[in-house]
Amino acid sequence: MAEVLVLVDHVDGEVKKVTAELLTAARRIGEPAAVWVGDGSDGAKASLAEYGAEKVYTAPAELNDYVVAPKAELLAKLVEQTSAAAVLVSATTEGKEVAGRTAVKLGSGVLTDVVDVTAELVAEHSIFGGATITHSKVRTGTPVIAVRPNAIPAEPAEGAAAIEEVSVEMSDAAKSAKVVERVQQEQSDRPELTEAAIVVSGGRGVGSDDFSVVESLADSLGAAVGASRAAVDSGWYPNQFQVGQTGKTVSPNLYIALGISGAIQHRAGMQTSKNIVAVNKDPEAPLLEISDFAVIGDLHKVTPQLTEEIEKR
Ligand code: FAD
């Protein structure tokens, strides 16, 4: 059975949940082989076997000091060495760039914002606010598939991964952009937005930079906080929390939108959420078309009551 390469998404050696989801998807296609770039303990690498990694390729940690290009070069070289059936990466901003560059190097095709993938390498995409499902398949070469976090449930497997060191000669082109500084974004005890099981987002309807109504509900649910672009552009909430076409893509089990109209650009970032709840004073707000539940009313009255009820439980 051919290998399926999975690029491990980790922050300073801590593996992100999406990696388990990618390994689960890879098991349907062939033998999952993880690709680890950067520093990380042997224990963290071996733990990938819990989700079916049969092998972990580890490249020199210095590759992490360059922007994106070395990862694409590494994946393309591994595909050539192993005749891999597919490459899976997470559909994050960086993951999508790695996917595109890798596909160019391989002369193959790239599929992004994928929400499911079959053993036959048919990828499913959810578009137009979740109203349309499309299926696509790469027709030439090894497909490079970028899968959205939270789209495919992670299922544990049994096994023990062998860790294999890979030495990679980087081309000069791969070394053209070096990371000179990493700036830690604002730290919070809340879950990471793209990985959270529940997201509570606030929009222009919040009305000011006092986002405490959104944050309190989020904290009562152990959720991440998101924001619409209108809220971010107004300076009410930091840019890193924007959900949508030009922000983050989320796919949680539950997405609660407070005072968000549901413009297509916002939907693009949250339409694959499993359950959508809208609180809006306008019964005609477009977001209601894709919501499972809606509360029509003033969010400043509805939300504190909701938070209070949840805190009682
Ligand atoms: P509005 O559209 O103004 O909606 C506010 C909503 O709050 C209304 O439905 C109103 O009924 C409701 N409301 C008001 N007061 C209350 C209250 N007290 N209680 C309950 N409800 C209330 N947008 C994004 O979000 N993410 C993106 O990534 C993004 N990218 C974009 C990219 C491009 C190229 C462009 C052109 C636009 C992009 N936008 C994006 C902007 C998008 O088009 C919308 O302008 C934006 O999403 C609107 O945000 P909003 O829903 O918070 O505000």
Counting atoms of ligand 1 from 1, which one is nearest the CA of 245?
A: 28
200 versus 42: the higher-pLDDT residue is 200
Instruction: Pick left, alpha or beta for residue 84 (phi over 0 → left; psi -120 to 50 → alpha; otherwise beta).
Output: beta
For 65, 68, 136, 184, the CA distances from 62, given in Å and listed in that order, are 5, 12, 36, 20
Task: Give me ligand 1 centre to Cα 193, in Å.
Answer: 19
**Among the listed residues 216, 234, 215, the one whose alpha carbon sits nearest the alpha carbon of residue 226:** 215
- Position 130 scores a pLDDT of 62
- Position 52 scores a pLDDT of 93
Task: Enter the tokens of residue 24.
Answer: 């689960």
pLDDT digits (tens, 9 = 90+) for 122-175: 999 977 656 688 999 999 999 999 999 888 999 999 877 788 877 777 788 888
Residue 203 in contact with residue 265, Cβ under 8 Å?
no
Of all protein residues, the one whose alpha carbon is nearest to atom 26 of ligand 1 is 244
- Position 59 scores a pLDDT of 85
For 43, 151, 277, the CA distances from 50, given in Å and listed in that order, are 12, 19, 34
Of all protein residues, the one whose alpha carbon is nearest to atom 35 of ligand 1 is 265
pLDDT-derived band at 299, boundaries 50, 70, 90 = very high
Residue 6 in contact with residue 88, Cβ under 8 Å?
yes
Strands 110-117 and 123-127: antiparallel
- Position 187 scores a pLDDT of 72
Q: Which of 245, 248, 250, 287 to mutate to test the pocket of ligand 1 (most atoms within 8 A of CB)?
A: 245
Q: Which of 113, 228, 271 to mutate to test the pocket of ligand 1 (most atoms within 8 A of CB)?
A: 228
Residue 301 has pLDDT above 90, yes or no: yes
Residue 291 has pLDDT above 90, yes or no: yes
User: Pocket residues for ligand 1 (CB within 6 Å)?
Assistant: 203-205, 228-231, 242-247, 259-261, 263, 265-266, 269, 279-282, 285, 298-300
Residue 79 in contact with residue 87, Cβ under 8 Å?
yes
Of all protein residues, the one whose alpha carbon is nearest to atom 38 of ligand 1 is 265
Phi, psi of 136 (to 5 degrees): -145, 160
Mean pLDDT along residues 235-261: 94
For 114, 149, 239, 265, 291, the CA distances from 248, given in Å and listed in that order, are 15, 11, 10, 11, 19
Q: Which of 93, 199, 204 to mutate to test the pocket of ligand 1 (most atoms within 8 A of CB)?
A: 204
pLDDT digits (tens, 9 = 90+) for 50-105: 999 999 998 888 888 888 999 999 999 999 999 999 999 999 889 999 999 999 99
- Position 23 scores a pLDDT of 97
Task: Give me ligand 1 centre to Cα 262, in Å.
Answer: 6
Of all protein residues, the one whose alpha carbon is nearest to atom 25 of ligand 1 is 228
Residue 213 in contact with residue 202, Cβ under 8 Å?
yes
Residue 287 in contact with residue 280, Cβ under 8 Å?
yes
ipTM of the complex, rounded to two decimals: 0.99
pLDDT-derived band at 207, boundaries 50, 70, 90 = very high
Dihedral angle of Cα 148, 18, 87, 85, to the nearest 10 degrees: -110
Predicted model pTM: 0.81
- Paired with 124 in beta bridges are 116, 135
Task: Give me ligand 1 centre to Cα 87, in Å.
Answer: 36
Q: Which of 232, 243, 266, 277 to mutate to test the pocket of ligand 1 (most atoms within 8 A of CB)?
A: 266
- Position 127 scores a pLDDT of 73
Residue 96 in contact with residue 71, Cβ under 8 Å?
no
pLDDT-derived band at 33, boundaries 50, 70, 90 = very high
Task: Give me ligand 1 centre to Cα 296, in Å.
Answer: 16
Q: With b meaning 16 or more CB within 10 Å and e meaning fewer, what string describes 65-78?
A: ebebbbbbbbbbbb
- Position 129 scores a pLDDT of 58
- Position 104 scores a pLDDT of 97
Residues 6+ apart with CB under 8 A from 119: 28, 29
Task: Give the SS3 label for residue 286.
Answer: helix
Residue 266 has pLDDT above 90, yes or no: yes
**Among the listed residues 54, 109, 61, the one whose alpha carbon sits nearest the alpha carbon of residue 82:** 54
Interior angle at CA 35, CA 99 and CA 73, nearest 5: 50
